[in-house]
Chain A
Amino acid sequence: MGLTITEKILLKHTKLKKIHPGEFIDARVDLCLGNDITAPLAIEEFEKSGAKKVFDRKKIALVPDHFAPAKDMASANQCKRLADFSRKYDIKHYFEVGQMGVEHALLPEIGLALPGDLIIGADSHTCTYGALGAFSTGVGSTDLAAAMVTGEVWLKVPESIKFIFRGKLNKWVGGKDLILHTIGDIGVDGARYMAMEFCGETIEKLPMEDRLTMCNMAIEAGAKNGIIAPDKITSQYIRSIKNKAKPGIGRVYSSDKNAKYRDVKEYDCRRIGPLVACPSLPSNVKPVKALRDVSIDQVVIGSCTNGRISDLRIAAKILKGKKIRSSVRLIVIPATQKIYLDAMREGLAKIFIDAGGVFSTPTCGPCLGGHMGILAQGERAVSTTNRNFVGRMGDPTSEVYLSNPAVAAASAIKGRIAHPEEVI
């Protein structure tokens, strides 16, 4: 029996000769990650363990991004614990404000996540790096602590579901819509404990940033990881990284033809239009056109899901020369410093500000109801982020609608959920 790409990468990181789904393994990690919310708990556990050193100072990434730049004194203390720990143990990949960005946008951008890597992160959206052909999964703080001591993580080898996407993408449709369509189809637990493997002619042509968006939201279907086999687009992306944070171009794996899948799903992309996930689950997906009477108070464009330069370009294309509705707050947050600079250089920042929006320094901020755009009682937002749970962006009575950047920008102009065609 052949192996899936997920099984091959896991096998390579164990001392075993073969593995099978359902088996428990101790696997070596190439990188482990924490942020200003999850790393403080991990640091406490690390210190309690009595460990004198970390397993490898070059294989740990600490990114204060959730409540950073620090939103209050308590958050400042949490960020400081990352800085202090990094200094004490000489952690190579610590990113202070000024270098930091939203972790899952930052790490691929600087080449810290490469094909064939096994990456764990104390953040559920760590599954993002599967877009590069890595096995990458979210874990808890104690897992991070244990990995910082031993360099290993315990995992259950997941079964895989293959998702085949065929047909040309419709206008204003991107990776966000493909993953929302998928989650809408299988549900928020449809891939619970499993690997989601995305493939097919549509994926083969899909730009890397859209692939990152798709794998980013694999967790919203309950998956352990999302993954796309590396190809030309992957190698072009990696080659284009300047001043890579670690050497090499990774190891390319792909699934065997006779690999075993729990299920195979096929989607015809010609039938997928721009989609919106309505409150309060990412699986509550409807076409934009069915939601035109939903008025909104805020639009957020950013996050590890859709805060990359291609996302900002799409939003700017819609907003160029236009004004947003006066009753709406538009908050645009480039996910990293590089994206911020590129957006300035390309004139995108000016387009957002001229339209009546704000353009902020990188942070996860509003996505998780942290800061920089919290919703008041009963308010409604369209957001390019990844979760629309009760109270996710602020008051428990507020509501979040998830969309791609084009729909978010169009909605800011209209003051209600709108299709890009309505404003362009």
Chain B
Amino acid sequence: MYKGKAFKFGDDINTDEIIPARYLNTTDKADLAKHCMEDADKGFAKKVRRGDIIAAGKNFGCGSSREHAPVSIKAAGVSCVIAENFARIFFRNCINIGLAIVESPEASKSVKTGDTLAVDIASGLVKNITRKETYRIEKYPHFMQRIIKAGGLMASIRKSSSKNKKKE
């Protein structure tokens, strides 16, 4: 369960806006967090509180493959990103690094900045506590749930390689 205040963004938010290339000469998570969403909302990194939630329109995370984008969002304290849908490389990066993301066209349409949300992936629902509304979440395919449950891609391959070793 993720609970926090929503920050609302529009359609086609790209990874250049999420973390501009001028900050890509580091892989330090705290440094990347300082500039999270900077070219979409300059003050975001200062306003965001641990647990807060990004809600956006369609095709969130389009453009460059930079994993620094979900890394900066996660390190800034954002607990979950909700969007109508996601660009594919950003989507797989989130699954791989363990940043919670959910697709919910209903939430994407209705949520406004400042709303308090509670995202319950297990029950497949987003609760908008401020507006007393509930939105459905698209369910992840089983294949992805396996990676998420393992705690990300690297943990998942470690798990399957140790399984194989046991078999041998």
Tell me the bound Cα distance from A145 to B155 in angstroms. Answer: 12
**Alpha-carbon distance between A219 and B87 when the two chains are bound, in angstroms:** 10
Kindly supply a per-residue 1/0 record for chain B positions 15-42, scoring 1 wherever the CB is within 8 Å of any chain A CB and 0 otherwise: 0110011101111000000000001100
A187 to B89, CA, bound (A): 17
The answer to whether B93 and A140 touch across the interface, beta carbons within 8 angstroms, is yes
| Residues of chain B in range 43-94 having any CB-CB distance to chain A below 8 Å | 58-59, 62-68, 71, 85, 87-89, 92-93
**Interchain CB contact under 8 A, A391 and B65:** no
A38/B62 in contact, CB under 8 A: no
Nearest opposing residue in chain A for B69, CB measure = A140
State in angstroms the CA–CA spacing of A72 and B24 once bound together. 12
Q: Is A222 a contact partner of B88 (Cβ separation < 8 A)?
A: yes
B contact residues, total (Cβ < 8 Å): 41
In the bound complex, CA of A383 to CA of B70 (Å): 28
In the bound complex, do residue B141 and residue A390 qualify as a contact, i.e. CB atoms below 8 Å apart?
no
Residue of A nearest to B84 (CB): A189
Q: Shortest CB–CB separation between residue B161 and chain A, in angstroms?
A: 8
Distance A390 CA – B12 CA, assembled complex (angstroms): 11
- Tell me, yes or no, whether B158 is within 8 Å of chain A by CB: yes
Contact size class for A? 35 or more
Contact pick for A143, options B20, B39, B92, CB 8 Å = B92
B65 near A139 with CB under 8 A, answer yes
Complex CA–CA separation, A75 to B27 (angstroms): 11
For this complex, 18 residue pairs linking A to B, each with C-beta atoms less than 8 Å apart, are A38-B67, A41-B67, A41-B68, A44-B27, A48-B154, A49-B154, A66-B24, A123-B65, A126-B65, A141-B67, A141-B93, A142-B152, A142-B153, A145-B153, A146-B154, A192-B85, A370-B21, A389-B16
- Contacts from A to B (Cβ < 8 Å): 24, 37-38, 40-41, 44-45, 48-50, 66-67, 71-72, 74-75, 78, 121-124, 126, 138-143, 145-146, 149-150, 154, 188-189, 192-193, 219, 222, 224, 281, 368-370, 387, 389-392, 396
